[in-house]
Amino acid sequence: MEENIFESMMVESSLFLDKSRLHHTYVPEQLPHRDKEISTIAHNLVEALHGQIPSNMILYGVTGAGKTAVTSFVLTHLQEKGDNIDAKVGTYVINCRNIDTNYRVLALLGNELIDDENEKIPFTGWPTDRVFDVLMRRMEDEGGVHVVVLDEIDYLIKKSGDDLLYNLTSLNGMLRNARLSVIGITNDLTFTEYLDARVKSRLGQEDLIFSPYTASQLQDILNQRVDALVPGSVSDGVVNLCAAMAAREHGDARRALDLLRASAEEAHRVGEEKITPHHVRLANNRLERDQMTLVIGDLPLHQKLVLFAIYAHHRRGVKRITTGEVYQVYKQACRHSNSLPLTARRITDLISTLDMLGMITAQTVSRGRYGRSKEIVLCIPSSIDIEQIMAEAEPMMQNVVNATYSIQSTLI
């Protein structure tokens, strides 16, 4: 029998001893430079162990500032302690970027509280009120204190409003046997603007701001994890460079860890046993490219067409593009892809989405007599071949690209 293709790869030595330690979801035994934050949250949650209601909290801070890690860390300890002293504590972490409707959050919480598959709340079909009632009843049956963490809570609020928070934060008034505490996590300092005054005061009983890590703090974090790699495989300057690059990206610890991991992969790929700053730079480029490629490829067709329209202007040297200009080229592109164009109103939303994804920046500007519009600037690095990625993900896009440029070249 022929050798299995994975055989040689399995025995081939890698630079990793434990790759998972370099993943940003890994919660280590120590979280450097977050003592103050850990202590603040713990001081609040310790109330739960006394059978009291901890305050609701909002945690603010940029991506990779350790909000989620600190919270998971504290919750793990809380749960452990609760089990030890036989105090009933339930902890739930929900990422609202994925679970972004009131119904889904309630259903998920309700289902966490029950093991019987037959009693599970369906993912759709019930009136939301009913899901809420079931959740309340299950909490009451369970008793104790429930700590609900809503990570990236701004996504939920912007999409579904603050009804859920209103209901959750008023639940304590209805519960006799159980207590509930809500912790919201967000990187949007202004998100409370979207909240009703009552919700705002009830949720923001205690605010905590996580400042971004500095380069030297990031170094400490990386040094703590570097034992996930083969001893001696990291040459001088690698950790510092990863930290410096991530510090430039608003002190993002997630980025720093990703960089170190990807650098090891780059070194391993070319069969080298030592990771050098050169590998870090390669890794940095690859991370950027991979991330963009994935996002662009996954865009729905019309979103791709809008991005293409922006790119077509950009390629012609137009650096600040208005919504109207995008719409004109977009309509052409629709013709070439045999699809009906969406309305201009919808395109405004699609442009905002691209802005949110970081592919463009769209600023509303007034050009006086020439009206008000968005000024759109493409942010995708030129090293990324947008057209190729789109064509690979959606073969029809190749026609659009070809047709658009053949028209443009005849115009010139």
In angstroms, rounded to a whole number, what is the distance separating the alpha carbons of residues 360 and 343?
A: 20
Please report how close the Cβ of residue 101 comes to DNA at its closest, in angstroms: 3
> For residues 139-178, which are near DNA according to CB under 7 A?
159-160
Please give the distance of CA 145 from its chain centroid, rounded to a whole number.
Answer: 28
| Total residues found in the chain within this entry | 412
Radius of gyration of the chain (CA): 25
Q: Does 284 bind DNA (CB under 7 A)?
A: no
Q: Which is nearer to DNA, 122 or 173 (CB)?
A: 122
Q: Which is nearer to DNA, 127 or 173 (CB)?
A: 127
Q: Does 255 bind DNA (CB under 7 A)?
A: no
Among 348, 388, 398, 408, binds DNA (CB under 7 A): 348
Among 231, 232, 271, 368, binds DNA (CB under 7 A): 368
Going through 268-407 in order, the beta strands assigned E by DSSP cover: 321-322, 360-366, 372-378
Please report how close the Cβ of residue 367 comes to DNA at its closest, in angstroms: 6
Please report how close the Cβ of residue 379 comes to DNA at its closest, in angstroms: 17
Binding span for DNA by CB under 7 A among 124-132, 182-190, 237-245, 256-264: 124-132
Q: Which is nearer to DNA, 97 or 274 (CB)?
A: 97
Among 227, 367, 402, 406, binds DNA (CB under 7 A): 367
Q: Does 346 bind DNA (CB under 7 A)?
A: yes
- The answer for 322, left when phi > 0, alpha when psi is -120 to 50, beta otherwise, is beta
> For residues 173-202, which are near DNA according to CB under 7 A?
none
Going through 228-339 in order, the beta strands assigned E by DSSP cover: 321-322
Q: Does 364 bind DNA (CB under 7 A)?
A: yes
Please report how close the Cβ of residue 287 comes to DNA at its closest, in angstroms: 27
Binding span for DNA by CB under 7 A among 32-40, 49-57, 319-327, 330-338: 319-327
- Alpha helix locations (H) across 192-276? 197-203, 215-225, 238-248, 253-269
Among 1, 12, 345, 382, binds DNA (CB under 7 A): 345
Binding span for DNA by CB under 7 A among 41-49, 117-125, 261-269, 311-319: 117-125
**145 contacts 90 by C-beta, under 8 angstroms:** yes
Q: Which is nearer to DNA, 343 or 410 (CB)?
A: 343
Place of tokens 């463009």: 360
In angstroms, rounded to a whole number, what is the distance separating the alpha carbons of residues 170 and 343?
A: 41
Q: Which is nearer to DNA, 274 or 367 (CB)?
A: 367
Q: Find, among 319, 322, 300, 303, the residue nearest to 382 by Cα.
A: 319
Among 16, 26, 126, 166, binds DNA (CB under 7 A): 126
Q: Find, among 292, 316, 300, 298, the residue nearest to 379 by Cα.
A: 292
Q: Which is nearer to DNA, 163 or 220 (CB)?
A: 163
Please give the distance of CA 327 from its chain centroid, rounded to a whole number.
Answer: 29
**117 contacts 155 by C-beta, under 8 angstroms:** no
Among 189, 342, 384, 396, binds DNA (CB under 7 A): 342
Please report how close the Cβ of residue 90 comes to DNA at its closest, in angstroms: 22
Among 370, 395, 410, 411, binds DNA (CB under 7 A): 370
CA distance from start to end of the chain: 62
Q: Find, among 189, 181, 201, 111, the residue nearest to 154 by Cα.
A: 189
Q: Does 28 bind DNA (CB under 7 A)?
A: no
Q: Does 211 bind DNA (CB under 7 A)?
A: no
Place of tokens 């009693």: 119
Q: Find, among 384, 218, 222, 394, the residue nearest to 314 by Cα.
A: 384
> For residues 76-105, which are near DNA according to CB under 7 A?
100-104
Among 30, 214, 216, 352, binds DNA (CB under 7 A): 352
Binding-site residue total for DNA (CB under 7 A)?
41
Q: Is 128 exposed, middle or buried (0-12, 13-18, 19+ CB in 10 A)?
A: middle
Torsions phi, psi of 402, nearest 5?
A: -60, -50
Torsions phi, psi of 180, nearest 5?
A: -130, 135
Chain residues that interact with DNA, rule: CB under 7 A: 100-104, 122-129, 159-160, 300, 302, 322-325, 327, 342-346, 348-349, 351-352, 364, 366-374
